[in-house]
Amino acid sequence: MLVRQIRIGANAMGGKNKARYLMAAELSPRNTATSINMEQTLYFSIFIFKKATFGLVSNN
């Protein structure tokens, strides 16, 4: 049931995240929620870092 919800969420997100979320769900069924929260946090922190650095560079 949990994996099914994750698949729906992953399909909604699409792209690179789809594979990552499905992989996280299949690798660790017991710690699925934790894995996905960590993955999501990592993804967003990288995204924000990229936006901050390249945003500043492109403005100059």
pLDDT score, position 45: 73
pLDDT score, position 27: 57
pLDDT score, position 60: 44
C-alpha to C-alpha distance for 18 and 8, rounded to whole angstroms: 10
How do the pLDDT tens digits run along the chain, 60 residues long? 455 555 555 555 555 555 666 565 555 555 556 656 666 677 777 777 777 676 666 554
**From the centroid of its chain, how far is CA 48?**
13
Looking up tokens 């960590």 gives 38
pLDDT score, position 1: 46
